[in-house]
């Protein structure tokens, strides 16, 4: 995924708009790769969300400190 799409993920995660994001990401993927299947586009969107959720969570934990000691 492009850096622009990754930033869209981060913005959507922090604003609680994942459903909207998934549709936007799949649409963007289809625009960039018109020969791909819609299911591939959604899979790519979901994989990106999972990766970015992990990134956002680790950033928050790093900023706040891990209270689960």
> What pLDDT shows up at residue 66?
54
Ramachandran area for residue 36 (φ above 0: left; ψ -120 to 50: alpha; else beta): beta
48/19 Cα distance (integer angstroms)? 13
pLDDT digits (tens, 9 = 90+) for 13-62: 777 677 777 788 888 888 988 898 888 888 888 888 788 878 887 887 77
Q: Please say whether the beta carbons of 8 and 21 come within 8 A.
A: yes
Backbone angles phi, psi at 33, to 5 degrees: -130, 75
> What pLDDT shows up at residue 48?
82
Question: How does residue 4 score in pLDDT terms, banded at 50, 70 and 90?
Answer: confident
50/37 Cα distance (integer angstroms)? 20
> What pLDDT shows up at residue 53?
79
């Amino acid at each position: 995924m492009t850096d622009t799409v990754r930033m869209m993920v981060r913005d959507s995660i922090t604003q609680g708009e994942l459903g909207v994001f998934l549709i936007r990401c799949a649409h963007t993927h289809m625009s960039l790769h018109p020969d791909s299947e819609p299911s591939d586009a959604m899979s790519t969107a979901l994989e990106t969300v999972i990766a970015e959720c992990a990134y956002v969570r680790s950033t928050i934990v790093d900023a706040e400190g891990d209270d689960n000691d």
